[in-house]
């Protein structure tokens, strides 16, 4: 689109130069006609011949008249050729403007399609975010329940181990006690060795007591270690992202809105979406981020901070005119990559142009940064 716009700008300049040349040639020719009329009216050529002094003078005057007539004929032919070239240039310009409008309409459709896709993508991202949030919450609940089950299992296992050990130890002690009792009874049937038998009974009774104490203590220590294990870390779902309200986001909003109007009509004094003039486009675009501007290019140039052409960045506003702000007659929004979007004129409408190309024919007065 910007290339087509550049070509039509070149053609438009060529057309203006041709019209200027034709006007100058036409003025010169009409001045000669007027001079001849004043000198002798429509019969001036005849008067020149009649007023000759002799035959040779007549010949000289005829030669002069012939040359003058040839010069006039050449000028007329040149003017006619320029008019034919002018008509050809006009037709070429009309075709370029037609192509530019078609490209702008195509761009507008693509922008709308892109906007719809972005909206659908945003919806999918939101739905995916909600689903991920739910999965994270479910995972957190499952981890909590798993931790509770592990704790219960540890307690049950500890109790089961303690009960089994105690039962086994008691059975062994009872068996040993019965054996000792039987041995003691056998020894008592004889009178000798009673004291020794009593001593052995005492020794045997002490060993089971110590064994029972040691065996019982071991599982209790194990149970204590399980109880003091640190609990597993529970994952907490991250909060939803907060919308970015930075300057970059605002600039993107302004530029996107301005680009969405490409393909619209140039309406002098208009301020509606897709039907506006250059300052109206700027005013509507910046209103999307809460920046209120007047509907007049020269007044808009008094807002913001002045920046140089070399430091220009996306979202800056370019004003065209003479050397002073009061001479400003056009305004555009820079969208990056050397391009700008603007409501150009009634012939082309709202288009994207190359800044460098456009500024060849339109002087940049000032560049302002509003964000």
List, by residue number, the catalytic residues: 278, 330, 342
Measured distance CA(200)–CA(183) in Å, rounded = 10
Measured distance CA(182)–CA(292) in Å, rounded = 111
Question: Which residues, in sequence order, are CB contacts of 76 under 8 Å at separation 6+?
Answer: 29
H/E element, 197: helix 194-227
Number of residues assigned to the chain: 371
Look at residues 297, 305, 307 and name the one whose alpha carbon lies nearest to residue 331: 297
At CA 100, angle to CA 96 and CA 101, rounded to 5? Answer: 120
Helices (H) and strands (E) in the chain, counts: 8, 9
Measured distance CA(127)–CA(45) in Å, rounded = 93
| Strand order, beta sheet including 317-320 | 305-306, 364-369, 317-320, 330-336, 339-345, 349-354
The CA–CA distances, whole Å, from 369 to 233, 257, 300, 338 equal: 50, 17, 11, 16
Which long-range CB contacts under 8 A does 216-221 form with residues at least 24 apart?
216/162, 216/165, 216/166, 216/169, 218/165, 219/158, 219/161, 219/162, 219/165, 220/162
List, in sequence order, every beta strand (DSSP E) within the chain.
265-266, 271-272, 275-276, 305-306, 317-320, 330-336, 339-345, 349-354, 364-369
Tokens representing residue 369 in the block? 């940064």
Radius of gyration of the chain from Cα atoms?
Answer: 52
Report the Cα–Cα distance between both ends of the chain, in Å, rounded.
27
Measured distance CA(51)–CA(167) in Å, rounded = 160
- Is 287 exposed, middle or buried (CB count within 10 Å of its CB: 0-12, 13-18, 19+)? middle
């Amino acid at each position: 689109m910007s290339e087509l716009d550049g070509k039509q700008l070149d053609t438009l300049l060529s057309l203006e130069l041709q019209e200027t040349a034709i006007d100058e040639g036409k003025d010169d020719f009409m001045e000669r006609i007027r001079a001849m009329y004043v000198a002798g009216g429509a019969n001036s050529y005849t008067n020149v011949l009649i007023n000759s002094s002799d035959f040779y003078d007549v010949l000289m005057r005829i030669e002069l008249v012939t040359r003058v007539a040839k010069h006039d004929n050449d000028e007329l032919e040149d003017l006619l050729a320029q008019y034919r070239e002018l008509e050809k240039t006009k037709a070429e310009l009309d075709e370029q403007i037609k192509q530019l409008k078609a490209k702008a309409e195509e761009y507008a459709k693509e922008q709308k399609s892109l906007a719809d896709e972005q909206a659908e993508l945003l919806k999918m991202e939101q739905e995916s975010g909600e689903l991920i949030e739910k999965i994270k919450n479910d995972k957190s609940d499952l981890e909590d329940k798993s931790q509770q089950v592990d704790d219960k299992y540890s307690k049950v296992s500890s109790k089961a181990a303690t009960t089994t050990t105690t039962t086994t130890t008691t059975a062994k002690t009872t068996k040993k006690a019965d054996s000792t009792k039987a041995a003691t009874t056998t020894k008592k049937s004889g009178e000798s060795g009673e004291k020794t038998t009593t001593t052995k009974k005492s020794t045997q009774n002490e060993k089971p007591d110590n064994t029972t104490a040691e065996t019982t203590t071991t599982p209790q220590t194990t149970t204590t270690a399980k109880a003091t294990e640190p609990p597993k870390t529970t994952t907490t779902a991250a909060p939803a992202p907060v919308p970015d309200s930075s300057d970059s986001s605002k600039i993107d909003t302004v530029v996107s809105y301005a680009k969405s109007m490409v393909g619209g009509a140039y309406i002098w004094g208009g301020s509606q979406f897709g039907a506006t003039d250059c300052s109206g486009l700027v005013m509507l675009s910046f209103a999307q981020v809460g920046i209120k501007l007047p509907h007049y290019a020269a007044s808009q140039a008094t807002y913001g901070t002045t920046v140089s052409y070399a430091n220009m960045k996306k979202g800056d506003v370019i004003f065209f005119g003479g050397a002073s702000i009061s001479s400003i007659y056009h305004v555009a929004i820079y969208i990056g990559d050397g391009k700008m979007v603007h409501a150009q004129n009634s012939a082309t409408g709202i288009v994207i142009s190359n800044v460098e190309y456009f500024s060849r024919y339109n002087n940049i007065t000032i560049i302002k940064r509003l964000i």
